[in-house]
Structure 1
Amino acid sequence: MSSDTLILILAQDRGLGLDALTRQRTKAAVPFGGKYRIIDFTLANCLHSGLRQVLVLTQYKSHSLQKHLRDGWSIFNPELGEFITPVPPQMRESQDWYSGPFDAIRQNRYLIERNRASQVLILQGEAIYRMDYAELARAHRETGAAITVAVRAVSAPGAGRQARVVLDADELIRELHAPGSGADDAETAEGERQETMGVYLFDKSVLLDALAGYERGVSPDADLALDVIAPRLAAHPVRAYRFGQARGRVTPDRYWCDLASVDAYYQANMALLRAEPPLDLYQPDWTIHTYQGQYPPARTVPGPQTGNEGVFVNSMLAAGTVISGGGVNHSILFPQVRVEDGAIVEASILFHGVRVGAGAHLRNCIVEKDVRIAPGDRIGFDARRDRERFDVSPDGIVVVTSEEASSRGLAT
């Protein structure tokens, strides 16, 4: 099946809701869960599904993403026709950059045409979920669909940002509606509201026909569901594939999050610390592959000045992290973080290489890579002062970026 399916992962998006975290990188490369990048979840789904012809369409601040793909995902064998290849704009037809997801696919039509695969699976590289794409492909073949769209149940009207789906009793898609268009009351025959999730499997001939229908510069920001698939509902069998069903080798936890805002990102990370998290990172037959440096083990040590023991409670600590007389509670620390004597970190996410100075106190913070927090500083306690110094989300999460810390004397 690997040779019969070409994967296109859309990873060119800036991620407007995550502006504070995408100043250095594209959204797909934003760190998540203590050691991963967002795109690792989509790539791990491909790996475990036996799909190993992967093109990653990149554009916005893509160096971090391309470095991650090189260091962490150079695991396929090109001698067997396997690859994970980043594809920035090639400008074969003009000097234009990708102007939207469909335009990114259209500009790489030649890569689709020359590949021997008979079907093309289009994925977002910017959402967190686990899914067995092999089962989706099997359902596509069994039902004789021309296009298969993965859908998930939505708990309430207005939830989510994806296109709304109306199904008939045979799981054929009858209608697709924009979110917030007044169609949120549309239901399937069983009464569930469904929405798309950025997973589309096309027969290659159908996708090429759709690409041919759009000239260069026309509808560059076309939405795949609403502008490409919806007009073809009458001409082709377009079926839904329900996310989280019993088929497939992934525990059907039905977890999916597109991390549309800083608050959504923060809550998705904090949810990993629950006694029973909604996303099981520890399922042994569906590990999330990533790049991890050769760092020493994480450890706690007594503080050099006070002799206080370093402690952590209900937290994730990545390799190379040292808590030296400080305290960490309900937090996620990426590799090579240091928490110095008397410092306290509560309900916070610290990216790679952060150093928290002695006696500092952080609460409800996201701290960018390599930021140095000055000794004795307090962040997350005075909302007015925090807003003067940093980005603060609607829910009060303080985002300390390296640019802000440097300009205010916090970084060294």
Structure 2
Amino acid sequence: MINDKVLSIILGGGQGTRLYPLTESRSKPAVPIAGKYRLVDIPISNCINSNIKRMFVLTQFNSASLNRHIKNTYHFSFFSSAFVDVLAAEQTPDNKAWFQGTADAVRQSMHHFLRHDFEYALILSGDQLYQMDFNEMIQAHIDAGAKISLATIPVNAKDAPSFGILKTDNNNTITSFIEKPVTSLLPDWTSPVSDNMEKQGKVHLASMGIYIFNKDLLIELMNDKSTIDFGKEIIPQSIDKYDILSYQFEGYWTDIGNIDSFFEANIGLTDNIPEFNLYDLKQRVYTNARMLPTSKITGTQLNKAVIAEGCIIHAAKIERSVIGIRSRIGKESTVINTYMMGNDDYETLETMEKDKPEVLLGIGERCFIENTIIDKNARIGDDVRINGGKHLTDTETATYVIKDGIVVIKKNAVIPKGFSL
């Protein structure tokens, strides 16, 4: 089988500064999404659904929670060769530096990969939302006799300047590459696409940051220590040397690189027919099976709400919002256009009696919350009003950050009763 010849390498990314403060105490792949999953669950689930079950996750910043999540989640048969291993940056006698880029991360970890028998390395990003059958891409790679393959997605002229744009011939062979082109250059950077994509004006091919490398070539490329990044160096420098295939993908895909795209991706799950389909049994998204109780909702008007397990909700209204595991929302509160990540544990009656916290876990009573991300284990007191939007300027305090009009309540933050923003 093809997938037995594939080793998957999932890149955890750098410090994730653009997703700060969600990455203040956790790595990018460990950021919670959709109320119950983590970002790393997406590439891992795509691999499992493609029957690719040998995976390494490369990370170096705040990797403790990621390690814990993977250890608690991905258990395979004792007699299986399947695994998901986290490789954090490590100092060795030969190298005392941290990962300097995507290619450098793979280079420093090669000695771990080479302990396994494989013919193709599938290199994935740990911060993207999509569903893809990698077997189709791998088969296309083999059929084309390519040395390297890139997954590409057709985009329009408005979005193209945000990506690395590739140009292909009629055989889907990549002939040139440009990083984030200015709009005036785009007429010269069109490629053959399907009729459906052409009708939508999506005639520019953007790199998705998903690569297949033949093992021998990857080893050869990793010997050159002057290159540290796949997208900026290795791919552009390889175009004139090797046959590189563009594998066009036309499904939903988004790069969760900043707070705005993260927020939109999560809120988009509340649409009647969301672009990212969590209900597809053939493309399941796997995560930690927590065995939580059902959610309990009393007197709440719900409209386009996604509510995870184990919640206790007495709110007046929840609209176009994602409510994460173990969330608590008090009476007469309104939550609109908000992603609430939930809590790691319940606050028991015994704990409340003993500690007598001034503000309980979750959202208190008579609150109004809009255009907000509430990170894990936050405490929002009664009568709090948070009205996010473009009228707010970017700022940071000890308990919250405002970016592009979105208010992000930090993990474990305590917002006092009566606070208004």
Q: Give me the TM-score of the superposition, normalised by structure 2.
A: 0.86
Contact 1:386-1:398 at 8 Å conserved across structures: no
Aligned ranges 1:154-173 → 2 under 5 Å: 154-159=155-160, 161-173=162-174
Aligned to 1:71: 72
Aligned to 1:229: 235
| CA deviation vs aligned residue, 1:66-123 (integer Å, no higher than 9, x gap) | 111111122x235332111001123232221112111110101212333210111111
Moved more, 365-374 or 106-115: 106-115
1:30 lines up with 2:37 in the alignment? no
Aligned to 1:250: none
1:401 lines up with 2:410 in the alignment? yes
Contact 2:377-2:413 at 8 Å conserved across structures: no
Structure 1, unpaired ranges of 5+: 245-253, 302-308
CA distance in 1, matches of 2:394, 2:126: 32
Aligned ranges 1:1-400 → 2 under 5 Å: 1-74=2-75, 76-77=76-77, 79-92=79-92, 93-159=94-160, 161-180=162-181, 183-185=185-187, 186-190=189-193, 192-214=203-225, 218-219=226-227, 222-244=228-250, 254-301=251-298, 309-353=299-343, 355-380=362-387, 390-394=400-404, 396-400=405-409
Aligned-residue offset at 1:14: 2.3
RMSD between superposed Cα atoms in Å = 2.3
Tell me which amino acid in the other structure corresponds to 1:405.
V
Aligned-residue offset at 1:243: 0.7
Q: Any idea what SS the aligned residue of 2:207 has?
A: strand
After superposition, the Cα gap between the structure-2 partners of 1:109 and 1:355, relative to the gap in structure 1 and judged at 3 Å, is: same
After superposition, the Cα gap between the structure-2 partners of 1:355 and 1:403, relative to the gap in structure 1 and judged at 3 Å, is: closer
After superposition, the Cα gap between the structure-2 partners of 1:109 and 1:385, relative to the gap in structure 1 and judged at 3 Å, is: closer
Aligned to 1:305: none
CA distance in 2, matches of 1:282, 1:317: 14
Q: Any idea what SS the aligned residue of 1:225 has?
A: helix
Aligned-residue offset at 1:197: 0.3
| CA deviation vs aligned residue, 1:4-31 (integer Å, no higher than 9, x gap) | 1111100142222211211121111111
CA distance in 2, matches of 1:118, 1:64: 32
> After TM superposition, which residue ranges in structure 1, 4 or more long, deviate above 6 angstroms?
406-410
Contact 2:5-2:120 at 8 Å conserved across structures: yes
Contact 2:393-2:402 at 8 Å conserved across structures: no
CA distance in 1, matches of 2:239, 2:409: 47
Tell me which amino acid in the other structure corresponds to 2:244.
V
Aligned-residue offset at 1:403: 5.8
CA distance in 1, matches of 2:381, 2:267: 25
CA distance in 2, matches of 1:124, 1:160: 20
CA distance in 2, matches of 1:388, 1:232: 42
Tell me which amino acid in the other structure corresponds to 1:316.
V
| CA deviation vs aligned residue, 1:111-168 (integer Å, no higher than 9, x gap) | 2333210111111011001110011111111111111111000112553643210101
CA distance in 1, matches of 2:302, 2:121: 46
Moved more, 343-352 or 76-85: 76-85
Q: Any idea what SS the aligned residue of 2:377 has?
A: coil
Q: Any idea what SS the aligned residue of 1:376 has?
A: coil
Moved more, 157-166 or 120-129: 157-166
Q: Any idea what SS the aligned residue of 1:346 has?
A: strand
Tell me which amino acid in the other structure corresponds to 1:340.
G
Aligned to 2:346: none
Contact 2:33-2:341 at 8 Å conserved across structures: no
Q: Any idea what SS the aligned residue of 1:227 has?
A: helix
Aligned-residue offset at 1:282: 0.9
Tell me which amino acid in the other structure corresponds to 1:317.
I
Q: Any idea what SS the aligned residue of 2:21 has?
A: helix
Aligned-residue offset at 1:287: 1.0
| CA deviation vs aligned residue, 1:229-268 (integer Å, no higher than 9, x gap) | 2222222211111113xxxxxxxxx111112221111111
After superposition, the Cα gap between the structure-2 partners of 1:189 and 1:351, relative to the gap in structure 1 and judged at 3 Å, is: closer
After superposition, the Cα gap between the structure-2 partners of 1:406 and 1:357, relative to the gap in structure 1 and judged at 3 Å, is: closer
Contact 1:176-1:226 at 8 Å conserved across structures: no
Moved more, 335-344 or 321-330: 321-330
Say how many residue pairs are matched: 387
Contact 1:52-1:84 at 8 Å conserved across structures: yes
After superposition, the Cα gap between the structure-2 partners of 1:87 and 1:157, relative to the gap in structure 1 and judged at 3 Å, is: same
Aligned to 2:349: none
Contact 2:385-2:418 at 8 Å conserved across structures: no
Moved more, 365-374 or 158-167: 158-167
Aligned to 1:306: none
After superposition, the Cα gap between the structure-2 partners of 1:240 and 1:87, relative to the gap in structure 1 and judged at 3 Å, is: same
Structure 2, unpaired ranges of 5+: 344-360
Indicate the percent of aligned positions where both proteins have the same amino acid: 26
